Structure 1
Amino acid sequence: MEETQQLKTQLDLMQAALDHINQGFSAFDADLRLVAWNRGLWEMLDFPQNLARRGTHLEAFLRVNAERGEYGPGDIEGKIRRRLKRAELFEPHYFERIRPNGQIIAVSGTPLPKGGFVTTYSDVTEDRRRQEKLERTVEERTRALQQSEDWLRLVTDNIPALIAYLAPGPVFRFANRRYADWFGQSVASIAGRPAPEVVGADLFKILEPHINRAFEGNAVSYEYQRERPNGSSAYMRSTLIPDMTQDGRTLGIFVLSLDATDQKQAEAALVQSQRMDAVGKLTGGLAHDFNNLLAILMGNLLSLGRMDTPIAKETLDAKLSPMLEATKRGSDLIQRLLLFSRGKAIDPQTVSLARVIASAGRLLEGSLPSAIILETEIENREIAARIDPTQMETALINLAFNARDAMPEGGTLRIALTETQLGKREADDLGVSPGVYAQIVVEDTGSGMDAQTQLQVFEPFFTTKTFGTGSGLGLSMVYGFIRQSGGAIQISSALGIGTYLTLYLPLKRLEACDGGTLTETQGTRPQRGRGELLLLVEDDPDVANTVTEQLQNLGYSVLRAESAEDARSLALELPELRAVLSDIIMPGQINGLALAREIHQKRNDLAIALMSGYADWSALADQDSQCEFPVLAKPFAEDQLADTLHRILAAPPIAAS
């Protein structure tokens, strides 16, 4: 190749510039002869200096490398030929070669437009060592993390709690074995799935507001109920804790849930125990009331029995009227006491507080000494709260009996219902949210409490009564119930002056028609029949005679059956029959509810009503409490019977299930 002096000068200048590059560099022409290089190439790859001239063929470089073992053992000529053939293709290429001394060279070749190629050589030995070290570190840490996760899984799977982690979506990222079992899933099947799929759409509707609050950065606690596959109810108490960054972003939420079923059952047993304790305290007063009622009945019956002459209607009415009122009052007392004693432990509903106070007041009548005056003040009958009404009655009765014990010489017990607004400061002091509350004041003029007693009065098992006369659970149960209902309780007392207890409950408001007194039906003429034929199923002859007379007085025709078998035959054989009225509990026979369902399956044109003298007839009948037929509680007044019969005869037939 002939070079001019000017070209040689330019090449020398380019050569000097290339020597300053920290990579090796070479350029070969279309004949694979060296046209340019830099000092870095010879220093990096240790080539003989005699090769550092223009025109040296690529083969010479390949031979040096092959002979000193750069390409490994084997056929040297074959290795050179294969590399020359690849070079003649002038294709882009990149590879890394480890030299015998351990040096790692990255070779990157780029073809030139008119043939030949430019190649750069980089010593990447340190980079690859650092990368290998990093990979080993990552592998070790991954292994350690896996061990840590395995350990965490082992721990969380053996903790008696349900643990999970929810990412935005919400999507499950983690769940321990107990959490997976609770929802009938496996640990592997939960990860990555949306929450509604895992917990079910119906339950998710209940949990969603709590989950949303947690993703807003709030710690949330709540309870929910879920039906197990065997049909029993299970209760879960859950806490959601946000996983937050320092700048306030919520990455996810930790879920901690505890099975509260046993605790709920224990609470229910304790509440029932307290309720039965209150029933026991009421017994004396109720016995007094019933003795008075029996005295009225016995006195008038004896008076009527001694009369030898015909009795004038006015005289008969004068005797029968108080007897009828006495039986109604006795029935009312029994029903109220039974409802109170068997009330569910937790049955929140929006109820009129005026009605609850009035009901508790009626239960207390006669149970408080005559020296104690009971006063009730109701500001507004529309004031309501979402509470368990029987627990509220229990609370009021417990407070009333505590007041009674504090007034052995007599005094005044006042129960007042008002509406109040709690500002932020007052609400914070009480531990509730600001807003409108129903306020129930229970005030007595008794002996009062000292400051130390007031501090301990709501503690479980604390009592100032003589050992064996008080459990110390009454006020702690009241406190727990009020707090569970979203309210607060405040006490103010002084020795020798009395005690002033204030209960606060989040206010709900009823419409006047719901919160007011029920419309009185006395004096109105009961709905009468038009000779319709009814079947009465009652095994007690005296009761059957009485109910038959009531039905006939109301204008109905009556056919009686003393057994379930007779009732079944008559109901199916008499097309003119319009309705069936059956007792529920019939000893030794199929119960009335089962009989009614059997008749209804075959004749859904028959109107059916049931009656029972048992408060908890569903347990005795071995049936669930869901009854599709109206049930009359014995004893019942004629107008109640008339109203029930009118409703079932006027209503369309119930579809057979």
Structure 2
Amino acid sequence: MLDNTCLAGGGAAGARLRAVDWASNPLGPVEGWPLSLQTAVRILLSSEFPMMIHWGPELITFYNDAYAPSLGRKHPGNLGRPVYEWWSEMWDQLTPIFDRVLSGQSFFVENARYTPDRDGAQKDAYFTHCHSPLWDDQGKVAGIFLVVTETTRQVVAERDLLQANAALAQQNQALQASQARLAAVVSASSEVLYSMNADWSEMRQLTGGGFLADTGSANPRWLTDHIPDGEQARVAAAIQEAIRNKAVFSLEHQVRLAAGGIGWTQSRAVPLLGPAGEITEWFGTANDVTARRAAEEALRRLNESLEQQVAERTADRNRLWTLSKDIMLVAGFDGTIQATNPAWAESLGWPEDDLVGRNLFDLVHPEDLERTAACAAAIAGGQAFKRFENRCRHADGTYRWINWAGGPGDGLIIAAGRDVTEERTIADVLLRTEEQLRQSQKMEAVGQLTGGLAHDFNNLLTGITGSLELLQARVAQGRVGSLERYISAARGAADRATAVTHRLLAFSRRQTLDPKPTDMNRLVRDMVDLIRRTVGPAITVQIVGEPELPPVLIDPNQLENALLNLCINARDAMPDGGRLRIETHHRTLDCHAAQELEIPAGEYLTLCVTDNGTGMTPEVIARAFDPFFTTKPLGEGTGLGLSMIYGFARQSGGQARIASSPGQGTTVCLYLPPHAGRPVEEEPSLDPAEAPLAQQGETVLVVDDEPTVRMLVTEVLEELGYTPIEAADGAGGLHILRSNTRIDLLVTDVGLPGGMNGRQMAEAGRALRPGLKVLFITGYADNAVLGHDHLAEGMQVMVKPFSMELLATRVREIIAEA
């Protein structure tokens, strides 16, 4: 086996390798090295070609004297060290190469560019090198054998040669271009070519190009022939200066034009020197600069004029700044005031000396600070113009309203403001006056409304009380055979009174609706006969329904009432007969159309009623939905028809609109949102004799503050076999719910006295009895308290008044629900 003789020889590199303390090196003592490593090291040290070896996991480095010059100051301290310690600046370049070779592949490249740090700074260097894998005695790749030649000088020399050749070619090209340009200059760039003898005593040739008079022979009088008298001395002095210095003659001067008159030329002449450096001839060119000189003179006069105009305008602005009644200021974007005009003292009591250097925001009312700062930020961001109002403090401590207009200028805020305090005060007074007028008109309309309501309700109450009195008298007389007509008359009057109260609730949007997915086309078709009978034979009724309309989520009874009211209004507008058209459509409203209608954009179903009657004026249209407005004589109506329709449409998530003009008829359209579900089938009317009976032991808690209602409900429930329990308020009902009494259903009014309404009591009861079923009975309910979107499972609602047969059916349905 080889021993240290693998490090024998090798010159300086071999000597330094032998001096390494290999026992403390990751490779260990030399005698323990693999035979393959010893052999490779021996080859490296005996070669005069630049070689390097990296061995082991740390890639310990070996190289010979031939490689040392490529390392610069890194030599000799890197012998026996891991390669990544001394090639750190090129590690990103070397890592892919090392990974490839250690995987068993060789790597060869010519004139590769690297940036080693060999003398204290990274510099470009070029190498042709070959990396080969070295295998250990077990046949595994354990190292890298590198044969390398630095080609930096060769690459740089070749690059310099290429650059020199390129520069030479460029110079040749430039020379050729220069020669071409010189020829072009001589032939095309000048109007005039001339030559002079050495002392300019005679002109030898002049080609004037139409600018000056040509001459083909020597001319000793050229100065007086071509130069005006006033210019001759200046031209002669410039010539003598050029002759004395053997320099280029260059002068812009006046000349006599070939066409007559005086012009301007830019003349340049170059001296041609003989072998001894003497001037032998002058060659010159001259250009016509007459137009430029004229333009410069005009520009000079214009500048003088502009300076005068600027001065005048500046004076005007200063006068405007001084005399303006509007306050003006210049301030930084942070609010620091830099200048103010005298109007501040008159409007707000602040002289300029008290304002300059002060922050404008100190004068702004605290409630307006945020808005003012936002406007200043918008101007600082480049917004060209900003108008806003705020309150500024007067020197006496009061605040004045200022209407500002401002914008940026030269890195500052330029603003002007006008005191609008008086205008705002007048506007407020006018607004209060108008409000008082509206209140007065309302009170007058309320009187008209209450008169109409009193008239209607007196008629209805007369029918109810009269029928009840006759009913009582006939029972006392034992004459029971004719009781049915009195009962029917009383119920009819009560139903009409219910319709009036529903109209009032519909306008206030506080009625309790019972919305269902409804087929609007079918609803209209089902009402056609009733509408025709109502409007009479003199009016032709036409129905136009768009096919395949989706259902609409609506209270069908209220929609029927709305449609009937619209048809009655149309009939009244056509006293001599006419045409009535009822249409349904499916429409899509874009943002613009929806904004005009004051509803969200999207899909809507429309129900429109059109007549060709008397029409309405714009003033009537503007007030048509007002409940305190009617065109009918006093006492002949409540004026709630259109207002009820409007309230119903708004409460249903839609809108109502009128289009009309006098003599052209009227169209009223309801916009209602569609529903994704299927329309519900009509429920058949129930015969009172068929009312469902209770099952054994079923108990119903009835809570209502009205004793008559409580009595009627409990009596009906007893007749049906239920066990009713009564309570007059929410506290009493909750007390029963807290007991162990069986309760199958809670029937409660919503508006209960005592601080706990029916909804609150029901919620508390369901907390005690999870799954408790509830039927709300109400004649007035706010959607925020009792809306169908807020009803939990097992809760339903009925609107007062209702028939006892319907109550019996609803009670049975709720209790029987799974």
Query: Which structure has the higher relative contact order (CA within 8 Å, separation 6+)?
Result: 1
TM-score, normalised with respect to structure 2: 0.36
Bigger Rg, structure 1 or 2: 2
TM-score of the superposed pair, with normalisation by structure 1: 0.43
